[in-house]
Amino acid sequence: MGDAFQEPLWRQVLSGAQMLFVAFGALVLMPLITGLDPNVALFTAGLGTLLFQLVTGRQVPVFLASSFAFITPIILAKGQFGLAATMGGVVA
Provide the pLDDT confidence category of residue 3 given band limits of 50, 70 and 90.
low
Task: Note the pLDDT tens digit of each residue in 37-53.
Answer: 889 888 989 999 999 99
Q: Does position 6 have pLDDT exceeding 90, yes or no?
A: no
Sketch the domain layout of the chain as residue ranges. Answer: 9-91
- The runs of H, that is alpha helices, within the chain are 9-24, 30-34, 38-56, 71-81, 83-91
Task: Note the pLDDT tens digit of each residue in 61-76.
Answer: 888 888 888 889 988 9
